Amino acid sequence: MRGTKIFAGSSHPELAQAIVDKLGMTLAPVHVKTHANHEKTIELGVSVRNQDVFIIQSGSDNINDDLMELLILVNSARSSSARRITAVIPFLPYSKQSKKKKSRGAITAKLIANMLTVAGVDHIITMDLHSDQMQGFFSKPVDNLLSEPLLCKYIREHVRDFRDAVVVSKNAGGVSRVTSLSDRLKLDFALIHQDNTNAVPPPVAATNGFVKPCTATRLPPTDSLAEIEVIAPEWHEDGLQLVGDVQGRPCFVVDDVLDKPATFIAVAQLLLRRGATRVMVLATHGILSSDALAQMEKCDAIHDVIVTNTYPIAPEKRQMSSKLRIMDASAVFAEAIRRTHNGESISYLFHTSL
Amino acid sequence: MSTNSIKIFSGNAHPDLAYLIARRLGLDLGKVVVSKYSNQETSVTIGESVRDEDVFLVQSGCGEINDNLMELLIMINACKTASARRITAVMPCFPYARQDKKDKSRAPISAKLVANMLTVAGADHVITMDLHASQIQGFFNIPVDNLYAEPSVLKYIRDHVPNWSTDSVIVSPDAGGAKRATSIADRLGIDFAIIHKERKKANEVSRMVLVGDVKGKAAILVDDMADTCGTLCLAAKTLVDHGASAVYAIVTHGILSGKALQAINDSPLTQVVVTNTIPHDDKKVKCPKLATIDISATLAEAIRRTHNGESVSYLFTHAPE
The domain spanning residue A43 has which CATH number? 3.40.50.2020
pLDDT (tens digit, 9 = 90+) per residue, B63-92?
899 999 999 999 999 999 999 999 999 999
Domain count of the fold of chain A: 3
Q: Whole-number mean pLDDT of chain A? A: 86
CA atoms of A128 and A249, how far apart (whole Å): 27
3-state helix, strand, coil in chain B (%, to 5): 35, 25, 40
Asked whether the beta carbons of residue B105 and residue A216 sit closer than 8 angstroms, the reply is no
Handedness of CA B298, B300, B304, B309 (dihedral sign): positive
**Tens-digit pLDDT profile for residues B100-146:** 988 888 889 999 999 999 999 999 999 999 999 989 999 999 999 99
In a domain, A354, yes or no: no
Q: List all residues 6 or more positions away from A255 whose beta carbon is below 8 Å from its beta carbon.
A: A169, A170, A174, A177, A264, A282, A283
Q: Which value does ipTM take for this structure?
A: 0.73
- Compute the distance between CA of residue B227 and CA of residue B237 in angstroms, rounded to an integer: 18
Q: Using the 8-state DSSP alphabet, how is residue B66 labeled?
A: H
Range of the domain at A228: 200-232
**With pLDDT > 90 as the criterion, what percentage of chain A qualifies?**
66
pLDDT value at residue A232: 37
Residues belonging to chain B: 321
Q: How far apart are CA B8 and CA B58, in angstroms?
A: 7
pLDDT tens for residues A215-233?
333 444 444 333 333 333 4
Specify the pLDDT at position A104. Answer: 78
Question: Is A237 or A175 the better-scoring residue by pLDDT?
Answer: A175
Cα separation, B215 vs B247, whole angstroms: 12
B100 vs A contacts (CB less than 8 Å)? 132-133, 136
Give yes or no: residues A311 and A338 share one domain. Answer: no
Of chain B, the percentage scoring pLDDT greater than 90 comes to: 79
In this predicted structure, what is the pLDDT of residue B199?
Answer: 57
The answer on pLDDT for A300 being more than 80 is yes
Structural domain ending residue among the three candidates A210, A232, A254 = A232
Task: Say whether B150-293 and B6-148+296-316 share the same fold.
Answer: yes
User: Is there a single domain that holds both residue A300 and residue A157?
Assistant: yes
Q: Which residues of B are less than 8 Å from A189 in CB distance?
A: 196, 211
3 state DSSP class of B262? helix
Is pLDDT of A235 > 70? no
Inter-chain Cβ pairs, chain A and chain B, closer than 8 A: 117
Edge to edge, the sheet with strand B144-147 lists B6-10, B54-58, B86-91, B125-129, B144-147
The answer to whether residue A196 neighbours chain B at the CB level (below 8 Å) is yes
Average the pLDDT over A42-52 and give the result. 94
Closest CA to A337 of A9, A7, A95: A7
Closest approach of B101 to chain A, Cα-based (Å):
5
What's the confidence (pLDDT) of residue B201?
Answer: 54
Contact criterion met (CB below 8 Å) for B306 and B88: yes
Residues of B with CB under 8 A from a CB of A: 100-103, 105-106, 109, 111-112, 133-139, 146, 166, 175-176, 178-179, 181-182, 185-187, 189-194, 196, 198-201, 209, 211-212, 311, 313, 316
How confident is residue A200, by pLDDT bands cut at 50, 70 and 90?
A: very low
* CB-based burial label for A38 (10 Å; 0-12, 13-18, 19+): exposed
Q: Give the angle subtended at the CA of B92 by the CAs of B58 and B98, to the nearest 5°.
A: 130
Q: Which residue in A22, A25, A44 sits closest to A309, CA to CA?
A: A22
User: Domains of chain B: which residue ranges?
Assistant: 6-148+296-316, 150-293
Of B213, B223, B176, whose CA–CA distance to B191 is shortest?
B213
Same domain, residue pair A335 and A310: no
Distance CA B178, CA B42 (A): 40
- Structural contact between residues A133 and B138, judged by C-beta atoms closer than 8 angstroms: yes
Q: What is the pTM of this model?
A: 0.81
Do A163 and A118 fall within a single domain?
A: no
CA distance linking residue A61 with residue B64, whole number of Å: 51
Q: Is the predicted pLDDT of residue A210 greater than 70, yes or no?
A: no
Q: In this predicted structure, what is the pLDDT of residue B1?
A: 47
In this structure, are A219 and A254 located in the same domain? no
Which amino acid belongs to residue A320? M
Contacts with B, A 119-138, CB within 8 Å:
131-137
Which pLDDT score, from 0 to 100, does residue A194 have? 80
- Looking only at the bridges linking them, the beta strands covering B168-172 and B218-226 are parallel
Looking at the DSSP bridge assignments, the partners of residue B7 are B55
Task: Kindly report, residue by residue over B306-315, the tens digit of the pLDDT.
Answer: 999 999 999 9
pLDDT tens digits for A263-293? Answer: 999 999 999 999 999 999 999 999 998 889 9
The CATH class given to the B150-293 domain equals alpha beta
Q: How confident is the model at residue A176 (pLDDT cuts 50, 70, 90)?
A: confident
From A39-48, A101-110, A111-120, B152-161, the region with the lowest mean pLDDT: A101-110
**Cβ atoms of residues A258 and A283 within 8 Å:** yes
CB within 8 A of A170, min separation 6: which ones?
A: A191, A192, A253, A255, A263, A264, A267
Residues A46 and A97 in one domain: yes
With CB atoms and an 8 Å threshold, state whether B189 touches A218: yes
Report the C-alpha gap between B180 and A173 in whole angstroms. Answer: 9
User: Do A77 and A169 sit in the same domain of this protein?
Assistant: no
Cα(B211)–Cα(B194) distance, rounded to whole angstroms? 5
Q: Name the 3-class secondary structure at B41.
A: coil
| A285 occurs within a structural domain | yes
Distances (CA, A) of A148 to A89, A94, A177, A353: 17, 21, 9, 8
Q: Given this model, what pLDDT does residue A196 score? A: 58
Q: How far is A100 from chain B (nearest CA, A)?
A: 7
Give B6-148+296-316's CATH code, choosing from 3.40.1260.10, 3.40.228.10, 1.10.150.570, 3.40.50.2020. Answer: 3.40.50.2020
**Helix residue spans in chain B (DSSP H):** 15-25, 65-81, 110-121, 150-160, 164-167, 178-188, 230-241, 260-266, 281-286, 296-308
Confidence of residue B205 (pLDDT cuts 50, 70, 90): low
The residues near A19 (Cβ < 8 Å, ≥ 6 apart) are A6, A56, A88, A330, A333, A334, A337
Identify whether residues A208 and A321 lie together within a single domain. no
Higher pLDDT, B272 or B2: B272
Tell me the pairing of strands B192-198 and B207-211: antiparallel
List CB contacts (< 8 A) between B181 and chain A. Answer: 172
From B271, B294, B6, select the one nearest B125 (Cα to Cα). Answer: B6
Decide if pLDDT at A249 tops 80.
yes
In this predicted model, which residue has the larger pLDDT, B205 or B20?
B20
Query: Residue B56 — pLDDT band, cuts 50, 70, 90?
Result: very high
Contact check, Cβ <8 Å, B189/A197 = yes
Contact call for residues B174 and B167 (beta carbons, < 8 A)? no
Q: What is the pLDDT of residue A209?
A: 37
Report the residue from B101, B181, B212 with minimal CB separation from A133: B101
Q: Is A243 on the interface with B (CB under 8 A)?
A: yes
One domain, residues A85 and A220: no
A51 & A110 share domain = yes
The answer to whether residue A113 is domain-embedded is yes
Amino acid at A95: S
Contacts of A104 (CB under 8 A, 6+ apart): B313
pLDDT at B174: 86
Domain co-membership, A35 together with A119: yes
Assess if residue A352 is contained within a domain. no
Confidence of residue A243 (pLDDT cuts 50, 70, 90): confident
Q: Please tell me whether residues A188 and A294 are part of one structural domain.
A: yes
- pLDDT tens digits for A59-79? 888 999 999 999 999 999 999
